[in-house]
Structure 1
C-alpha cells in the first residue's frame, strides 16, 4: 500500500501508529493502548515486558531463534531465554544489564493491541522516562517485592502523573523471591496508593507478579498465590481506557504560511485540539483578529472537517496577518494569553534550572525568551513541597515564567499539546527541562487557569489559608486556585 493510499485509508484524527497492523483480529479497539513500564533499577521492567511479548506470542520465530542464541549462558533455572534482551537492544544495555534508551514494542491479544515503552530506571536517564510517559495512557510501575518503594518509584510516579497519566498498575515483581508473602505485598500496595492519591491518581491496580516465571503476567499464579484473586497484568491492560486530555476548543499552532500563488493563502499545521469545519469562526492569537474558515485543504483533497491530529492547511475568508508560531483557535474557547505563567518542571540538565536565567522556551512551533524563577521543589523522600530557588538535575518543581512577548498556552490538564514545553539553554542549545503549564499568573502573582464560572468559592480564616497553600495538594494544583480578599497577603 502506498503512502497516498494509506493516508486515504485513515480516518480523521488517525496517524500511521494508530493503524492496527493486524486488521484480521476483529473486535479490537481502533487505536492501540499506549503504556509505559517504569520504576527503579533492576526491578525487572525489561524482563516483564519481554515475558509479556513471549507469552502473547508476539515474538516471531526468527526473533525467538536470535533470542535463544543471544541468551547462551544466560538461561534461568527454568531453561528459558533472557527475556530482557527483547527490549535491551543497545550494546551498552546488554553489557551492563540496564535500560538506557526507551524501547518501543507493539503486541496484541485477541481483544486489543498495544504499544509499550520500556523506560530506563537509572536517575541519569530520567529524561528518557519522561519522554516515554508523555504519550502514554497508562503507567506500569514496577517494585521489587524485597526492597519495597524507593525514591525512584516516587519520582517516576510523580512524572507520570505530571504528564497526565491517571491509570497506574503497581506490579510488585520478584514476589517469588519473597516467598509469595501476602502481607509484604499488601503493605507495599497500601503505601503506594497513598502516594498515588497525593498525586491525584485514584485508579491504581496492584498485582503481585513474577516476571521471570510468568506468574500473573498473562497466566495466573493461583498455585503459588491462592490469596490473590485480582486480574493479571494483561487483563488490566485489555480493560484500560485511553486518555483523551482534550477538553479545549479548536487549536492550530501555525507552522507555515503557504503562498503558492497570488490567489491562495493558507495556514499550515497539525490540529492540536478540538475540531473545525468550513464556516466556523476563529481567532488568530496573539493579534486577536477574527475570521471565518473558508476551506480545509490537505495535500490531496479538500476536507469538510478536521479533528485533533490532522495535518491541514486552513484557508480563511479574509486576508489576515499570520506568522509561524501564531495560533488559530476557536473564537468561543480561547487559550490563555499573557506574559506571566506558572508551570511544573522536570530538570533534565546537569546544571539544573538556574534562578533568574533567561532560556528559550519552545512550545510547538513557537519559541520565546523567558525568565524562569523556581519557587518550590518536591522532596522525594517525604513527598512534601519545599520552598526552593534552584532546581537540580532530575528535580521536580514549580516555577514562575516571565516572557518578553505575549505567550499562548492552555493548562496541561486541559490540553497536553498546547500546555507542554521544553526549556533550551541559549548558549549550549541543550534541553534544560520539560514543563507543563499550570495557569496564567496575574500581576499580583496569583493564577488564573479557569474562568470564574467554573470555580467554587470557599472562605477560610487567614491562618488556615496560609497552612492550606503550603500543602502538597495546593502546590500541585496552583494553577486552579484563585485567592482573593484580605487573606491574600497572608497566603503569600
Structure 2
C-alpha cells in the first residue's frame, strides 16, 4: 500500500481528455480509475446500481465521471469533471472535458492548466473536425504533451493499418499546428486494451499503455523558472495591538519565486520597494515560489491595491494598452469589431475595446480567413484590443498564467473569449495627456 510519505515524493501531472461525442472519453477515464484501483467500493457499487437500472449487464465505467444527472440522462459529458487519483509512481489531477462542439468552451477550461492532453479518436471515424479543433486548442494553450488515443480498436478488428493511418494523419496535422510532441496509442477503453494493462490482441504494438505513458512522461513544472509574478488579490490591514502597522499584499504566486530582500516593482504604477518579509500559512519564510499563496510585506509604504502585479525590478515587463492576441471565442453571442468588453488579466479587470479582428483560423487546412469582422462560438482567431488602462502582460509563450486573459460581457458578466497574448504586443504606453492618450467618452473609446 502506498504511504503518504511515498506519495509526497512523487510528481504531480495535470492532464485533460478531449475528443468528439461518443469517442469514449468518460469510459477511458473510468477504466483508468477502475483498473488502477482508484475507485472506492461505495462508488463502484453506486455505478453498478445505476448501470443495472439502465438494463446493462456490467458496470458502465463512464458513470464514474459523468456525475451530473443531466449527463447521465443524455449520455454525454456536459461539465468538466475533475478527478484525483494516484499510483505509486505519480499523482494525477485529470479533467474529463466534453466532446460536443457546444461545450468546446469547457475543453478550453480543462486544458488551460494541463501539462498533457489525451485526445481520443474513434477508430471507425478517424480524424474529424472536432478532433482538429481540440488539437488546435491544445497547440494554442501550449500544452507540452499530446496523446492520441485511437479508441474502439475492437470495433475495427484491432487492425494495425487503421491505427497507423489515423496516427499519421493526426501527427501531420498537429505538427503543422506546432504541437511539440504526439504519442499515439491504440486502445479499447471498454475492453481495457492498452489503458492500464497491455493488450493481448494487439501484439503488433510495442509502445506504452496510457497509464504507463502518464506515469513516465517528463513533467517540468517550468512555471518555477519563469519570470516571477505575484498578482495582488487582497491587501491585509489587521490593525491589531500586536501588529499596529502591518500592511501585507496577499495573492498566489503565478510564476517564479520571491525572496526577502529582493527589490521589486509594483505595476502598472511602476513604484519600487524591497521585500521586507514573506508570510506563508501564518509563518515567516525567506523564499516562496509558484502556486504558493503568500502575503508579501514591503519596506516602503507605497500605494498597492487589488489587481496590481508585483514583479522583480530587474525583470519587470513593459505595460501596454494595445494587445494583440490569439483567442478562442466561447460565447454564443459573436465577438465583433467595436465590441465593448471587460478584460480580466490576473486579478485586474479593466474596460477594453475590440479594435480589429485581423484573421480567423480555418481548421480544415489551417488557412487564415482575413478580417472576418466577427468571431462566433468556438472560432479561433486573432484580435487587437485597446484597454482603458495599461496592463503588465507577458507573452503567453513565456508564461501561460500571466500571458492569458478573458474577455467578459459588461452587461451580464458572461465570459466571451479566452485570450493568449502574442509576442508582438508590448508597445510603449503614451504619457498621460500626450499623443495617443485615450479619449474619455463614457470610459469606452480608448
Q: Is there any run of 5+ residues in structure 1 with no aligned partner, and where?
A: 1-20, 445-492
2:203 is aligned, of 226, 230, 233, to 226
Residue of structure 1 equivalent to 2:248? 266
- The DSSP-based 3-state class of the residue aligned with 1:260 is coil
CA offset at residue 91 of structure 1?
1.2
CA deviation vs aligned residue, 1:272-328 (integer Å, no higher than 9, x gap): 111111111111112222211111124522111111112222111222122221111
CA distance in 1, matches of 2:301, 2:139: 43
Residues 74 and 81 in structure 1, CA contact (< 8 A), matched pair in contact too: no
Residues 104 and 378 in structure 2, CA contact (< 8 A), matched pair in contact too: yes
CA offset at residue 35 of structure 1?
0.8
Within 5 Å, give how 1:56-205 maps onto structure 2: 56-72=36-52, 79-205=57-183
Residues 37 and 119 in structure 1, CA contact (< 8 A), matched pair in contact too: yes
Residues 79 and 98 in structure 2, CA contact (< 8 A), matched pair in contact too: yes
TM-score (norm 2): 0.90
CA offset at residue 23 of structure 1?
3.5
Residues 256 and 269 in structure 1, CA contact (< 8 A), matched pair in contact too: yes
CA distance in 1, matches of 2:7, 2:294: 31
CA deviation vs aligned residue, 1:103-146 (integer Å, no higher than 9, x gap): 11122223222121111001111111111101111000000001
- The DSSP-based 3-state class of the residue aligned with 2:276 is strand
CA distance in 2, matches of 1:336, 1:189: 42
CA offset at residue 24 of structure 1?
4.1
Within 5 Å, give how 1:32-431 maps onto structure 2: 32-72=12-52, 79-222=57-200, 224-246=201-223, 247-261=225-239, 263-372=245-354, 373-387=356-370, 388-431=372-415
Residue of structure 1 equivalent to 2:441? none
CA offset at residue 245 of structure 1?
4.2
CA distance in 2, matches of 1:442, 1:226: 53
CA deviation vs aligned residue, 1:385-439 (integer Å, no higher than 9, x gap): 2212211111011111111221111111211221111111111221111111113
TM-score (norm 1): 0.82
Cα separation, partners in 2 of 1:29 and 1:400, compared to 1, 3 Å: farther
CA deviation vs aligned residue, 1:356-388 (integer Å, no higher than 9, x gap): 112000112101111122211111122222212
Would you say how many aligned residue pairs link Structure 1 and Structure 2?
421
CA distance in 1, matches of 2:255, 2:71: 38
CA distance in 2, matches of 1:27, 1:101: 29
Q: Is there any run of 5+ residues in structure 2 with no aligned partner, and where?
A: 429-446
Residues 207 and 231 in structure 1, CA contact (< 8 A), matched pair in contact too: yes
CA distance in 1, matches of 2:365, 2:335: 22
Cα separation, partners in 2 of 1:131 and 1:111, compared to 1, 3 Å: same
Residues 420 and 437 in structure 1, CA contact (< 8 A), matched pair in contact too: yes
Residues 397 and 423 in structure 2, CA contact (< 8 A), matched pair in contact too: no
CA offset at residue 256 of structure 1?
2.3
CA distance in 2, matches of 1:401, 1:220: 50
CA distance in 1, matches of 2:141, 2:3: 31
Root mean square deviation of aligned Cα: 2.0
- The DSSP-based 3-state class of the residue aligned with 2:171 is helix
CA distance in 1, matches of 2:332, 2:351: 21
CA distance in 1, matches of 2:35, 2:426: 54
CA offset at residue 234 of structure 1?
0.8
- The DSSP-based 3-state class of the residue aligned with 2:326 is strand
Cα separation, partners in 2 of 1:108 and 1:260, compared to 1, 3 Å: closer
